[in-house]
Amino acid sequence: MSDECFSPLFVKPLPRMKTQFTLPLSALATIMLAVVAVFSGLSNAQNPAGGIPAPPSEINAVDVDGDKGEAIEVYWRLSANDPSASAMPDLSTDTPAQVTQYTIYRRLADGTDEYTEIGTQTYGVTTFTDSNVKQGVSYIYAVTADSEAGSSAMTVMAYPVAAVMQWFDYEKSWMGLILLFISAFIIFYIGLARSGKELKVRQIAGLSAVDEAVGRATEMGRPILFINGILDINDIQTLAGLTVLSRVARTAAEYGATLEVPTARALVMTTARETVQEAYLAAGRPDAYQEDRIYYLTDEQFGYVAGVTGTMVRDKPAACIYMGAFYAESLILAETGNHIGAIQVAGTAMPSQLPFFVAACDYTLIGEEFFAASAYLSGDPQQLGSLKGQDVGKLLGGGLLTIGVIFATLEVIWPDMTSIKDVRQYIDGNILGSDGLTMTSVEKGSDQWFEELLQRQRDFELNQNALESGGIDA
């Protein structure tokens, strides 16, 4: 490993750091270097290659965009002795100079400390993210290529870099715009419905079944079992399920049916009690509300299922309604419910469990239908408005997908047309990805990138000098 005390000698002369190269230090270093050179010459006597790899040819670093100023990305060019530097790496000749790793060093740009090692990367890699920086402090980075025999000279950055905090994450611009777009339509349609305009939405088969199931349970004098999924209230499906529960409870209260809600989470129990109590009140039957019918079993998935299936075969509910987030327990519940002959309605946004509900339940609300159910069942025209907003979102999504696919196909047919490629890249990387509003034409770490960055920093340097000398009016 390279010794810190030699480092100034390997440094390319830098405009701003000249003061640091005091003569005695460099003289001392020269002598020590000579000594090391002699010794290394001795130790590498049988090895004409010398064993020390060529240093990485260039290094540069930039502030990571869209963060709170806590990371700097360092890029360098591969050493000539890097096994992946040439197109066909010759791994058979295992020369001592072959690079095994790169070591990244850093020091403060004001020169108050020495280079310290901040990390290593394996060969073939040309980037390192330093996430241990202080915001606004300028650093100089350096990198060495290391082989079994020793380390190359340090390649040092020409200009200092500092991490800056951004106030807005521009990479998320498009996401913000799309969020605004969809939300605006949802809010618009809710407002439209509120103003009294009747909105048309299609019927969903599973939904009428919910009321039907409650009615049948009342006729048979048997309870209704409602399962709100097995996740806590920090999952949106649980919340959507609670809205359905509110509606089911209200119907049950009106019909005078018993409603049983075993929960897998204490907080779901607490919230469900609030919801159901309110529903009974709204139905004008607050006296019929039984708190103990909404109870907690256990957080453990299969412990909970064991309890619920036991209850099912003993109480024989006439209707089982599953609304929320489900995992493997879905089929155990649905098969047991089917065995006892209950009407079963399920709704979940867990794609992996949908096949089981579809196979074993009478009606299944698939994904988005489940979220729509709360709007339908509420009977509140305002809530139906939100469905129209969702449809606008689907149009947007389908449109983006179609255009993207068309351009992606064209790109394969005419690979040379850059305009097609640019459109596809803009959809892919900017609108749907995290490249911000404008296209980044230069790939980080490429030749062009290194050049442009250096130029930009030089310009900045000129400005700074001008500012310091008072040459430019602010």
Considering the complex, state which of residue 8 and residue 389 has its C-beta at the smaller distance from another protein. Answer: 389
Binding mask 373-392 for another protein (x = CB under 8 A): -xx--x-x-xx--xxxxxx-
Of 428 and 461, which has the nearer Cβ to another protein?
428
269 binds another protein (CB under 8 A): yes
SS3 assignment for the chain:
CCCHHHHHHHCCCCCCCHHHCCHHHHHHHHHHHHHHHHHHHHHCCCCCCCCCCCCCCCEEEEECCCCECCCEEEEECCCCCCCCCCCCCCCCCCCCCCEEEEEEEEEECCCCCCCEEEEEEECCCCEEEECCCCECCEEEEEEEEEECCCECCCEECCCCEEECECCCCHHHHHHHHHHHHHHHHHHHHHHHHHCCCCCCCCCCHHHHHHHHHHHHHHHHCCCEEEECCCCCCCCHHHHHHHHHHHHHHHHHHHHCCCEEEEECCHHHHHHHHHHHHHHHHHCCCHHHCCHHHEEECCCCHHHHHHHHHHHHHHHCCCEEEEECCCCCHHHHHHHHHHHCCCEEEEEECCHHHHHHHHHHCCEEEECHHHHHHHHHHHCCHHHHHHHHHHHHHHHHHHHHHHHHHHHHHHHHHCCCCHHHHHHHHHHHHHHCCCCCCCCCCCCCCCHHHHHHHHHHHHHHHHHHHHHHCCCCCC
For the CB of residue 204, give the shortest distance to another protein in the complex, in Å: 8
State yes or no: residue 143 binds another protein (CB under 8 A).
no
Nearest residue to 53 via CA among 118, 125, 143, 129 = 143
In the range 329-368, which residues lie near another protein by CB under 8 A? 331-332, 334-335, 338-339, 349, 351-356, 358-360, 366-368
Q: Does 320 bind another protein (CB under 8 A)?
A: no
Which one, 132 or 464, has the nearer CB to another protein?
132
**Site for another protein contains 120 (CB under 8 A):** yes
Our CB check for another protein shows the closer of 31 and 180 to be 180
Q: Which is nearer to another protein, 154 or 360 (CB)?
A: 360
C-beta closer to another protein: residue 40 or 96: 96
Contact between residue 97 and residue 82 where contact means Cβ atoms under 8 Å apart: no
Structure tokens at 178: 């799309």
Which range in 3-11, 170-178, 214-222, 440-448 contacts another protein by CB under 8 A?
170-178
Residues 4 to 63 in contact with another protein, rule: CB under 8 A: none
Q: In what order do the strands lie in the sheet with 72-76?
A: 59-63, 72-76, 127-130
Interacting residues with another protein between 54 and 83 (CB under 8 A): 66-71, 83
CA-CA-CA-CA torsion sign (339, 356, 261, 320): negative
Adjacent-strand bridge partners of 320: 225, 344
Site for another protein in 211-250 (CB under 8 A): 232-236, 239-240, 242-243, 245-246
Contact between 398 and another protein by CB under 8 A: the answer reads yes
- Contact range with another protein by CB under 8 A, out of 39-47, 151-159, 425-433, 441-449: 425-433
Taking the complex as a whole, the smallest distance from the CB of residue 19 to another protein amounts, in Å, to: 31
- Binding-site member from 400, 444, 445, 449 for another protein (CB under 8 A): 400
Q: Among residues 95, 258, 298, 457, which is the contact residue for another protein, using CB under 8 A?
A: 298
Closest distance of CB 172 from another protein, Å: 6
Alpha-carbon 360 to chain mean position = 35
Cα gap 195→189, rounded to integer Å: 10
Q: Given the rule CB under 8 A, which of 27-35, 41-49, 55-63, 403-411 is the region that contacts another protein?
A: 403-411
428 binds another protein (CB under 8 A): yes
Least distance to another protein, CB of residue 135, Å: 10
The footprint of another protein on this chain (CB under 8 A) covers a number of residues equal to 138
Stretch that binds another protein, among 8-16, 206-214, 408-416, 454-462 (CB under 8 A): 408-416
Shorter beta-carbon distance to another protein: residue 402 or 464: 402
Choice between 152 and 348, CB closer to another protein: 348
| Binding status of residue 179 toward another protein by CB under 8 A | yes
Token output for 361: 């339940």
Which C-beta is closer to another protein: that of 20 or that of 100? 100
Q: Rounded to the nearest whole angstrom, what is the least distance from the CB of residue 264 to another protein in the complex?
A: 9
258 or 382, CB closer to another protein?
382
Could you tell me the smallest distance in angstroms from the CB atom of residue 266 to another protein? 3
Instruction: Give me the 121-140 binding string for another protein, x by CB under 8 A, dash otherwise.
Output: xxxx---xxxxx--------
CB of 137 to another protein, least distance (A): 17
Distance, CA of 280 to CA of 384 (rounded, Å): 23
Q: Which is nearer to another protein, 213 or 349 (CB)?
A: 349
